Amino acid sequence: MKLADFAAHERPRERLLAAGPASLADAELVAIFLRQGRRGRNAVELGRELVARYGGVAGLCAAPRAEALGPRGLGVAAYCQIVAALELSRRVLANEIRRDAVTDPRRCADYLRAWLVPFPYEVFACLFLDNRHRVIAGEELFRGTIDGASVHPREVVRRALAHNAAAVILAHNHPSGVAEPSAADVAITRRLRDALALVDVRVLDHLIVGEAAPVSLAERGLV
């Protein structure tokens, strides 16, 4: 069935206008960006296929560009629009954090999850904070594989000095979805804490991001 054959109240765009975006499934939101299907599939069917293949919209956006734009993927316009929408949502969260001091761990955790969960490989990132614990910048510093990333304290110190940061929050994802810290996670946290202390930069926390709520090493007394 073509999307045009759907009853008006069943079409994703009309449903969004009538009931709001929260009423739509992920595949229907993707269909709005696709605008049309291909090879006998309407936009909603293609949206469902893509969401299932990549395990969700975040996975679709984190897919390598060549794969996402391949014959079985998105068109260039739809890909650019979806990635732009995801980036806008991240910036909204980032601006909320920047506006206020980092006193709400839940908001900070939400931002880090939105940023890091989509990656199918390990990414080590850092939030650089001023002396009132407001976010100056957030940077992805290292990329690794599905089960690890090499982290170099010298580079973290260099970026902290470049931002004139007074403190940092470290973060990385576990692509497995299990956020339990490893012995290596604890060891690199302490190495970074000691290296940054030499230039008077405090490590406030190291958050590990998985499918559930991020795990705080500071809450476990490991920082």
Architecture label for domain 103-216: 3-Layer(aba) Sandwich (3.40)
Name the residue type at position 9.
Answer: H
- How far is 143 from 155, CA to CA, in rounded Å? 13
The rounded distance, in Å, linking the Cα atoms of 80 and 171 is 27
Is 101's pLDDT higher than 70?
Answer: no
Phi and psi, residue 191, nearest 5°: -65, -45
Secondary structure element (H or E) that encloses residue 103, with its range: none
202-209 β-sheet, strand order = 135-143, 123-129, 167-173, 202-209, 215-216
Supply the pLDDT for residue 103: 63
102-138 pLDDT, tens digit each: 666 777 888 888 788 878 889 999 999 999 888 888 8
Instruction: Indicate whether 221 pLDDT > 60.
Output: yes
Domain ranges of the chain: 3-87, 103-216
pTM here is 0.65
Average pLDDT for the chain: 82
pLDDT tens-digit readout, 144-167:
876 667 889 999 999 999 999 999
Please give the pLDDT value at position 167: 96
CA distances from 17 to 23, 48, 71, 101, 108 (A): 10, 21, 31, 36, 31
DSSP-assigned letter for residue 74: -
Beta-carbon count within 10 A of 203 CB: 23
* Residue carrying the six token digits 């998985």: 210
pLDDT at residue 66 above 50? yes
The residue among 137 and 91 whose pLDDT is bigger is: 137
Higher pLDDT, 171 or 113: 171
4 pLDDT higher than 80:
no
Per DSSP, which regions of the chain are E strands? 123-129, 135-143, 167-173, 202-209, 215-216
The pLDDT value recorded for residue 1 is 46
